[in-house]
Structure 1
Amino acid sequence: MSSNTRFSSRRSLLALVSLGLLMILFVSLGRWQLGRAQERQTLAQQIEQGRRQAPLQVDSQAALDRGALWQTVALHGSWRGDLTVLLDNRNFKGRPGYWVATPFVLDQGTLAGSAILVLRGWLARQPGQPPRPPAAPAGPQAIEGELLERVPRLFELGESSLPRSLPDPSGVAPVVQNLTVSELSERSALPLQPRVLAQTKPATELLTDWPDPNIDFEKNRGYAMQWFGFALIALCAWIGVAWKWLRRSRPTTRKT
């Protein structure tokens, strides 16, 4: 076998391996997009089903556990304004601002003494000024809101965490990018329900026009078809390279 033939064979083998890896990558990305589409379709169904149900009066743990995600629930209790946390980089119609999150201590039935984290609304950022969220109303309160599984998260490069203990002696509401119920419960020693409420009533100084999560699952399906198309192109190229390699590898017979 000549050196040119050996070089051509090595190049063909490298091309086949590369195309094979690309096929695996493209198929994996397509399947991942289909998975994301399924997740978003399920979320869209949860939102639709939850909002179709009648508002739920919650006065017991069993009633709260029955509440469907995105269903409107009514609660009675009092605010723990000293445990307010601000969620940064929560824009509203292009305007920068914060979500104001405050625990609400329940006072009815088997829920008495426990609390639920409530997203009270959106606060605009004032350039050059520290955020000043309005104080939570004092005394017993009745509120309504949609039940969420958790506080919606944003992509975060670094880490922002709460102070080691709450409430902060300075009296200043901590500012973080993301917040979990378990972290707030641990830092404040306040028993919190595992769900979150996005407040809708009563009206306050804060805006409560909550954005829906991204549920455009058809876009993910379109992306999946694109990746599968790339995989098909890579497969065709793989077949073409393999066919040429096999033809060159066949021994040639000379006519006498």
Structure 2
Amino acid sequence: MARPHSSRTTAAALLLLGAAVAALASLGQWQLRRGDERRAILAAIEAGRKQPPLDLTPATPPAELAAWRAARAAGVWLPQFSVLLDNRNHDGRPGYWLATPMLLDASTHTAVLVLRGWLPRVMGAQAAPAAPPAPSGGQTVSGELQPRVPRLFELWSLGSAPAGLPAALPLPGGALPQVQNLALDDYARATGLTLLPAVLSQTDDAADGLVRDWPQPSVDYRQNISYAVQWFAFAAIAAIAWLAVLAGAIRRARRRQAPPA
């Protein structure tokens, strides 16, 4: 004789399937939100790159410092304040970004922080590689604006902290500090400079051996939409299964309540 279905088993199945529907639909909604975020980033990139190149000066209004806008800076390099941003990979190779400020106005100590390029880590070496020297005298550099130095997600073991920016720069002996991330406010306090509220990622060729193939944010929002459709399809399958289990439970209950022939 067939074993009758347990009401407890049916309730558990309905509960699990209902939770699966909610979880899968939530994942679909999350993918749609991620797609909206990427679409907004793409719109910001296109809007910034459509604007005419901006000449950076101490009087440049912050509202003009739009992300991804082409910009030029004319001034003097301050290599004594250079910083190496660690764990910045390029084509799978570990290395650093070299950040150096360019002084725009000596009387007000106004400068813009420039990400000059990438240089590889010397495998097996304890010390950081020697950074290429910055040209002396008046220079002009071109690039794209960013609102901040792109952050790197930091992981470290319990009880140890990543190396932070020294309280004052430059360091004795001319050593370059190595940090994971660099906040403009902290950097301004350490250097005593008045920084523009933006960062310039250098794009022109300076023949200094640095790589200027800057990473671009992922803007493939169509991929997120595709993933969302898949999650919603899985949610629909789970919902159909929930309805099937419920319908079977209702039929069994009606058969049990039906009077004998």
Tell me which interval the TM-score lies in, with the shorter structure as reference length: 0.7 to 0.9
Q: TM-score, normalised by structure 1?
A: 0.85
Alpha-carbon separation, structure 1, partners of 2:74 and 2:63: 16
Partner of 1:120: 116
> Normalising by the residue count of structure 2, what TM-score does the alignment of the two structures yield?
0.84
- In the TM superposition, what is the alpha-carbon distance from 1:211 to its structure 2 partner? 2.7
CA deviation string 1:153-176 (max 9, x = no partner): 333322524244132335322223
For 1:75 and 1:127, the matched residues in 2 are separated by 34
Q: 1:105 to 1:12 in 2, by over 3 A?
A: farther
Which residue in the other structure is 1:91 paired with?
A: 89
Q: Does 1:252 align with 2:257?
A: yes
Distance between the aligned counterparts of 1:178 and 1:226, measured in 2? 36
Q: Take 1:190 and 1:104, find their aligned partners in 2: how far apart are those partners?
A: 10
Contact persistence 1:160–1:178 (CA under 8 A): no
Q: Return the letter of the residue paired with 2:30.
A: W
1:237 aligned partner: 241
The 3 A distance-change label for structure 1 pair 41 and 9 is same
Superposition RMSD in Å: 2.5
Residues 186-218 of structure 1 show CA distances to partners (whole Å, capped at 9, x for unaligned) of 444433333211012351411222232211111
SS at match of 2:172: coil
In structure 2, how many angstroms separate the alpha carbons of the residues matched to 1:90 and 1:137?
A: 24
Consecutive unaligned residues of structure 2, counting only runs of 5 or more, are none
- On the 8 A contact 1:77/1:108 being kept in 2, the answer is no
Distance 2:147 2:55 in 1: 18
Q: Distance in 1 between matches of 2:190 and 2:253?
A: 70
Aligned counterparts of 1:71 and 1:108: Cα–Cα separation in 2: 25
Q: Which letter does structure 1 place at the counterpart of 2:120?
A: A
1:227 corresponds to: 231
Query: Which structure 1 residue ranges, 5 or more long, are not aligned?
Result: none
**Which whole-Å CA distance do the structure 1 matches of 2:179 and 2:70 have between them?**
27
Distance 1:113 1:24 in 2: 57
Cα distance in structure 2, aligned partners of 1:63 and 1:35: 32
Residue 64 of structure 1 deviates from its aligned partner by 4.8
How is 1:31-110 mapped onto 2 (pairs within 5 angstroms)?
31-107=29-105
Mapped to 1, the partners of 2:153 and 2:94 lie a distance apart of 16
- For 1:31, give the aligned amino acid: Q
Deviations 1:40-97, CA, capped at 9 Å, x for gaps: 1221222222223221122254445313321111122333322222122222233322
SS in 1 for 2:123: coil
Provide the secondary structure at the position in 1 that maps to 2:174.
coil
Matched, 1:8 2:6: yes
> CA 1:194/1:26 → structure 2, altered by over 3 Å: closer, same or farther?
farther
Secondary structure of the structure 2 residue equivalent to 1:201: coil
What's 1:179 paired with? 182
Distance 1:230 1:121, change over 3 A: same
Percent of aligned pairs sharing the same letter: 44
Distance 1:225 1:154 in 2: 31
Q: Distance in 1 between matches of 2:25 and 2:192?
A: 47
2:216 maps to 1:212: yes
The answer to which of 19-28 and 183-192 deviates more is 183-192
The alpha-carbon deviation at position 236 of structure 1 amounts to: 1.0
Partner of 1:192: 195
AA aligned to 1:98 is Y
Residues 105 and 57 of structure 1: is their aligned pair in 2 closer, same or farther, counting only changes over 3 Å?
A: same
Q: What whole-Å deviation, never above 9, does each CA across 1:2-56 have from its counterpart, x for those lacking one? A: xx86x82112212222222222211221111111111112212222222232211
Letter in 2 for 1:201: D
